[in-house]
Amino acid sequence: MDFVSSINFLDWMFILKGAGLTIFLCIISMLFGSLIGLGTGIMRSSRNVLFYGPAWIYIFVIRGTPLLMQLFLVYFGVPLITGHAIGAFATALVGLALYAGAYLGEIVKAGIQSVDIGQKEAAKALGMNFWQEFRHIVFPQAMRVIVQPAFGFFIALVKDSSLVSIIGFVELARAGRLVIARTFQPFVVYGAVALIYFAICFGLSRLSYSRIFAGKADLS
Amino acid sequence: MKDERILKMEKIVKTFGKLTVLDGVSLEVRKGEVVAIIGPSGSGKTTLLRCINGLETIQGGEIIVEGFRIDPVHRDAHKVRERIGFIFQKFNLFPHLTALENVKLAQVIVKKRPEKEARDVALRMLDRVGLSDKIDEYPSKLSGGQQQRVAIARALAMDPTMVLMDEITSALDPELVNEVLEVVRQLAKDGMTMIIVTHEMSFARDVANRIIFMADGKIVEEGSPDDIFLNPRNVRTQAFIGSISR
Amino acid sequence: MNYTLRFSQVYKYLPLLYKGLGLSSAISFVGMIIGCVLGVIFALGEKSKHTPLRIISVGYIECIRNTPLLIQMYLLYFGLGQFGLHLSPLISAILAITLNNAAYTAVIFRTGIDAVDSGQIEAGKALGMGKTQIFKYILFPQAFKIVVPPLTNQFISIFLFSSVASTISLPELTYQTTYIESVSMRTFEVFLIATGLYLLVTTIISIGSTLYEKRLARY
């Protein structure tokens, strides 16, 4: 233990900066992922094979393979396809957004299908076209069923984002690893990193309880 | 000749938090009696029934069954429950067991009866409620009336000294109510001691020796069916009987 | 894009991929079985009337569920090293997956038990059954049917996240994939095969579970 250095203030700041980057990355990925998920979910609910086919394949592949493999594939594959390397942040973002898109797509699809078919029939009977029916009738009702699992997924995404440390993006997990490389105190540092993840995730799940109640009040 | 008292409840008090649901209720039931409890919703009649076999704990008063004082917290409480049959409004049959298995299970694991004896008793009870042809069906394949009859057979198989019935026809479609009431009528003829909470007024008049009218957690009036239905003395009772006759 | 698929150059590495798949499957399977046993214990602990037991169970479940598996694995593999305790990659991986799984299955079991209609418990009580009898003959058979789908998802999840063990040098499927990629430079080919293998296993698990659920649904 003679070359263990103590962890100084700068190290903690570095770790906290990593935490901030984790949150930032997750929010941006979630935003893009939501857009992808929305489109995928709608396509997946369609009865037209041309729509639900590609959506089904996308969801099947992403949900059937490890996130780490997907991140490696983006990391190795994108430079090969586009000819030049993209930064660590962009790699992480693409990987996480595609990952989120598939899982959120499944949640959106379930939400859309949960809307009573009588609602859709009533909309059609009133002469609404597909987009009107979707925007005014299906989507608002589907959203109630989508919000809670989607938020739950976001919390999971925060944890899963730790994997982007492997492809070099310096977020919370990676920051910890770098500090350990200097100070050789893996237990203390990873323990602190775990505590920060805990604070974020536990805090978010507590938040979801009040959000749900707020959501329920909206319905009346 | 002294009549055996199966049940004695004295000054029962039951609260749910700040709400007092039973406010000093006293009741005695003798062997062979059929007592019907009627009253508006929220009067406490279902709660009273559930206190007798310990599904609810009481905050005041005494419950004595066959001379044996039962405290729900007492470890022997579940021994007493063996002697008291309870039929639920929602039937509560075990969905993963056939009708026959439903009636057999408690006999084997609670009364420790040998398999063969339990099976014989089960077959007899199911025959008694008219379901000999459905013994191997799962509850999901039975109508509400049939499920409730299996529930009655299940309770009878335990050789109870008293059977409690909590609005057993309220969850049934109208055309299925009679088959269940018929079974209860026959039980009364066979001399079973019963306490029945019910909305079925004509049935209560028909089958009960004694009617108890409850409101707001108290017993307002009790008497023979003719007393209560034709000549109610209390104003509350009169109002209730009046409202249901229309 | 200047890339032509040449699978022939990758075929000689297939045995390595199969070994990796075997290892991934093995640690997932062990983690699932032991994790489920622990999960039942923690689920019952969560509902226990004995307060210290309840606090430990809830505390454990919340800590594990709110931290990433990666960090949990690092704490075991690297973290314990700070105290001189050096676990092998295999032990660290199995331990991390098992402990992680226990917390998630505990919630699944707890939800499953709660989902059984309370009237069932009352019927058991009314018939004179004791607590253990009610659990064994009434709660457990009905809860079992309810938990099969979420447990299947959990198993698939563990299998996919076993890939995290590649970061602590365990030669499971993902590790082998990146290794072969680096020596053969055939990125897409090896990733396609590995992806196919992962998909194959997850599909088999899904189909198997669906068939089993159909069998359970006879009543």
Asked whether the beta carbons of residue A166 and residue C167 sit closer than 8 angstroms, the reply is yes
Asked whether the beta carbons of residue A160 and residue C68 sit closer than 8 angstroms, the reply is yes
Pick from A61, A65, A43, A60: which is nearest to A52 by CA? A43
- CA angle B141/B144/B149 to nearest 5° reads 95
Rounded to a whole number, what is the distance in Å from the CA of C50 to chain A's nearest CA? Answer: 25
Enumerate chain C positions whose Cβ falls within 8 A of a Cβ in B: 117, 119-120, 122-130, 133, 137-138, 141-142, 145, 218-219
**Nearest-10 crossing angle of helices A88-114, A9-45:** 40
Rounded to a whole number, what is the distance in Å from the CA of C129 to chain A's nearest CA? Answer: 37
Rounded to a whole number, what is the distance in Å from the CA of C177 to chain B's nearest CA? Answer: 47
**Cβ pairs bridging B and C (under 8 Å):** 66
Q: Which of C71, C177, C187 sits opposite A162 (nearest CB)?
A: C71
Asked whether the beta carbons of residue C63 and residue A198 sit closer than 8 angstroms, the reply is yes
Touch criterion met for A and B (3+ Cβ pairs within 8 Å)? no
Ramachandran angles phi, psi of B2, nearest 5°: -95, 125
Distance CA(C78)–CA(C92), nearest Å, equals 9
Rounded to a whole number, what is the distance in Å from the CA of C184 to chain A's nearest CA? Answer: 13
Domains of chain C are: 14-216 (1.10.3720.10)
Topology at the third CATH level for domain B5-245: Rossmann fold (3.40.50)
- Per-residue CA distances from A16 to A13, A31, B55 (Å): 5, 23, 54
Torsion B125-B129-B134-B138 (CA) sign: negative
Pick from B165, B170, B161: which is nearest to B151 by CA? B165
Lowest mean pLDDT among A119-123, A196-200, C27-31, C147-151: A119-123
Share of chain C above pLDDT 90, in %: 71
Chain C contact for A67 (CB, 8 A cutoff): yes
With bands split at pLDDT 50, 70 and 90, how would you rate the model's confidence at A130? confident
Pick from C27, C9, C205, C177: which is nearest to A71 by CA? C177
Distance CA(B130)–CA(B155), nearest Å, equals 15
Check if CATH label 1.10.3720.10 holds for domain A9-219: yes
Q: Which of A68, A185, A193 sits opposite C71 (nearest CB)?
A: A193
Enumerate chain C positions whose Cβ falls within 8 A of a Cβ in A: 1, 3, 62-63, 65-72, 74-75, 78-83, 156, 160-164, 166-167, 174, 177-178, 181, 187-188, 191, 194-195, 198-199, 202-203
What residue in C sits closest to A200 (Cα-Cα)?
C66
Asked whether the beta carbons of residue B86 and residue C119 sit closer than 8 angstroms, the reply is no
Ramachandran angles phi, psi of B211, nearest 5°: -110, 135
- Per-residue CA distances from B157 to B104, B180, C176 (Å): 8, 17, 64
For B21-54, letters b (16+ CB in 10 Å) and e give: bbbebebebbeebbbbbbbeeebbbbbbbbbbbb
Exposed, middle or buried: residue C152 (CB in 10 Å: 0-12, 13-18, 19+)? middle
Lowest mean pLDDT among A35-49, B53-67, C100-114, C192-206: B53-67
Q: Cβ contacts (< 8 Å) between B79 and chain C: which residues?
A: 128
Q: Cβ contacts (< 8 Å) between C141 and chain B: which residues?
A: 96
Tell me what the mean pLDDT of segment C27-38 comes to: 96
**Cβ pairs bridging A and C (under 8 Å):** 118
Asked whether the beta carbons of residue C163 and residue A69 sit closer than 8 angstroms, the reply is yes
Asked whether the beta carbons of residue C75 and residue A194 sit closer than 8 angstroms, the reply is yes
Distance CA(B68)–CA(B80), nearest Å, equals 9
Distance CA(C71)–CA(C74), nearest Å, equals 5
Chain C contact for A166 (CB, 8 A cutoff): yes
Where along chain A do its domains lie?
Answer: 9-219
User: By the 8 A CB rule, do A65 and C200 touch?
Assistant: no
The pLDDT score that the predictor gives to residue A10 is 86
What residue in B sits closest to C123 (Cα-Cα)?
B92
User: By the 8 A CB rule, do B179 and B24 touch?
Assistant: no
The pLDDT score that the predictor gives to residue C2 is 60
Q: Cβ contacts (< 8 Å) between A176 and chain C: which residues?
A: 71
Rounded to a whole number, what is the distance in Å from the CA of B200 to chain C's nearest CA? Answer: 23
Distance CA(A206)–CA(B17), nearest Å, equals 27
The pLDDT score that the predictor gives to residue B201 is 87
User: By the 8 A CB rule, do A113 and A134 touch?
Assistant: no
pLDDT exceeds cutoff 70 at A84 = yes
User: What one-character-per-residue DSSP string does B156-218 give?
Assistant: HTT--SEEEEESTTTTS-HHHHHHHHHHHHHHHHTT-EEEEE-S-HHHHHHH-SEEEEEETTE
Chain C contact for A159 (CB, 8 A cutoff): yes
The pLDDT score that the predictor gives to residue C80 is 92
Three-state SS for B9? strand
Asked whether the beta carbons of residue B81 and residue C126 sit closer than 8 angstroms, the reply is yes
The β-bridge partners of B34 are B194
User: By the 8 A CB rule, do C71 and A187 touch?
Assistant: no
pLDDT per position in chain B (246 positions), as tens?
A: 345 778 888 888 888 888 889 988 999 999 999 999 999 988 899 999 988 887 888 888 888 888 777 765 555 666 777 788 999 998 999 988 999 999 999 899 888 999 999 999 999 999 999 999 999 999 999 999 999 999 999 999 999 999 999 999 999 999 999 999 999 999 999 999 999 999 888 889 889 999 999 998 999 999 999 888 888 888 888 888 888 765
For chain C, the average pLDDT equals 91
How many CB atoms are located within 10 Å of the residue A108 CB?
28
Structure tokens at B200: 């079925």
Chains linked to C by 3 or more Cβ pairs within 8 Å: A, B
Q: Which of B88, B96, B111 sits opposite C123 (nearest CB)?
A: B88
The pLDDT score that the predictor gives to residue B117 is 95
Chains linked to A by 3 or more Cβ pairs within 8 Å: C
Q: Cβ contacts (< 8 Å) between B86 and chain C: which residues?
A: 126
Pick from B87, B65, B219, B55: which is nearest to B164 by CA? B87
Structure tokens at A186: 């893996």
Asked whether the beta carbons of residue C82 and residue A194 sit closer than 8 angstroms, the reply is no
pLDDT exceeds cutoff 70 at A147 = yes
Distance CA(C69)–CA(C161), nearest Å, equals 8
Say if strands B193-197 and B162-166 run parallel, antiparallel, or are unpaired. parallel
Structure tokens at C6: 């040449």
Chain C contact for A187 (CB, 8 A cutoff): yes
Place of tokens 């200097």: A182
User: By the 8 A CB rule, do C184 and C190 touch?
Assistant: yes
The pLDDT score that the predictor gives to residue A3 is 58
How many CB atoms are located within 10 Å of the residue C47 CB?
14
pLDDT exceeds cutoff 90 at C12 = no
Where along chain B do its domains lie?
Answer: 5-245
Task: State ipTM.
Answer: 0.89
Structure tokens at B72: 């729900």
- Per-residue CA distances from A132 to A41, A42, A115, B33, C13 (Å): 17, 14, 15, 67, 54
Asked whether the beta carbons of residue A67 and residue C202 sit closer than 8 angstroms, the reply is no
Residues of chain A numbered 125-154 and touching chain C (CB < 8 Å): none
For chain A, the average pLDDT equals 88
User: By the 8 A CB rule, do B132 and B100 touch?
Assistant: no
pTM of the predicted structure, to 2 decimals: 0.81
pLDDT tens readout for residues C120-164: 999 998 998 888 899 899 998 899 889 999 999 999 999 999 999
How many CB atoms are located within 10 Å of the residue B11 CB?
13
With bands split at pLDDT 50, 70 and 90, how would you rate the model's confidence at C174? very high
Tell me what the mean pLDDT of segment C90-98 comes to: 96
